[in-house]
A and B are shown apart, each in its own frame.
Chain A
Amino acid sequence: MKPKHQRLILAIVALAGVAGAGVLGASALRDEAAYFRTPAEVAGGKATPGEAMRLGGMVAEGSIRHLADGVTIRFVATDGEASIPVEFTGIVPDLFAEKAGMVADGRMRADGVFAADRILAKHDERYMPPQMGEMPTDMKAATAG
């Protein structure tokens, strides 16, 4: 075997080892590196009341309520499986809306309401012109084809 081939095999073996270690590390981090927890995880007991955490989900349709003080809102965060009520006092980002994603910093209260200190808006991976955004989804598919 030529030294060149030895080096090639050594490099491939080493690379495979390092890549394998990377994948193992990444999968071990699966839960730890998650940026937020979903309502289903919280409902499944993955959150202790009072512990600082982030809750991420969709704002349920028709769920945003403004309380009498004028600066506090209440809404329901959902992931389709479970729903968690959220309360927040302050200014939300422009993209915060019903049927859109959001991430809230805060903690679960003992009464099952998530008290948020801060709200971030999440947007999805779709980009399109404004007139198409108002079309029903099936028409979008038809025009895109």
Chain B
Amino acid sequence: MHAYANPTRFLAIARPLTPWLLGLGLALLLVGAWAGLMLVPGDYKQGETARILYVHVPSAWLGMGGWTALAVAGLVQLVWRHPLAGIAARAIAVPGMLFTALCLATGSIWGKPTWGTWWEWDGRMTSMLVLLFLYAGFVALTMGDANENGGQRQGGMLSRGAAVYALVGAVNIPIINRSVVWWNSLHQGPSITLGGSSIDAALLWPLGLTLLGFSLLFGGIVLMRMRRIIADNRVAARLRRLADDDEGN
């Protein structure tokens, strides 16, 4: 694993991978969205309204998956001191927050015509809102420590506090997942479980496409952001060297 601690080796893989992830993700997303909006029939009960699930479900998945990755990155930094972990966590935070916000927004738009309300304080919605606030807190924490010493913390690593925060915040992920099982809620129970799917196959397949498409896009965006952080670090290091040289002369 530490072979990729060398940014040059990481970049040799990340650079060619980025356009593939973005291109393939966008293509799958467009086909999935077209199929979900135009091709498959509406739901027997909700009609056309249910089509928003092709955006809502991938958003929820990436919002929660993003924090899971953030927590893993926090653990890897705390235990193994891997230099890419902090960079990855910084790169994931903003896209993860964006998809969490997208999940809440599409859920709200979906809730009005079906349930009859934009927002209710039920377990699922409240725990998802907490996730959005957790992301905001993480972004604020890591923005603060990036300003230390006038630049990124050494090599883009997280402060210990931010890494611990990422780990502790992961407690919310199983709570979101189980919220509709543990508590009476307005949100319905899980449709897709290990036992199978209660979304009929005729409506399910575009969801697979948008889920994979959004995920690949997310991966591509994270790689782009990681490359940017590495580039920033290199510029900062070079400027420091130049400044030191000047003082030496």
Contacts and interface: CB of A to CB of B under 8 A. Distances in A.
Contact of B171 (A4, A18, A124, A131): A18
Nearest to B203: A127
Contacts, number: 130
Contacts of A128: 43-44, 199-200, 202-203
Nearest to B40: A129
Interface in B158-209: 167-168, 170-172, 174-175, 178, 182-186, 188-191, 198-203
A78 interface: no
Contact of B114 (A92, A95, A131): A95
A124 B184 contact: no
Interface stretch (B24-32, B45-53, B97-105): B45-53
Given A11-B78, A126-B191, A133 B183 contact: no
B79 A95 contact: no
Interface residues of B, number: 45
A126 B188 CA distance: 9
Interface stretch (A26-34, A68-76, A80-88): A26-34
A18 B116 contact: no
Given A22-B175, A35-B184, A120-B116, A127 B43 contact: yes
B90 to A, nearest CB: 20
Contacts of A26: 175, 178, 182
Interface residues of A, number: 44
B121 to A, nearest CB: 8
Interface in A1-43: 4, 7-8, 11, 14-15, 18-19, 21-22, 26-27, 29-30, 33-38
B186 A4 contact: no
Interface of A: 4, 7-8, 11, 14-15, 18-19, 21-22, 26-27, 29-30, 33-38, 56, 92-96, 103, 119-134, 144
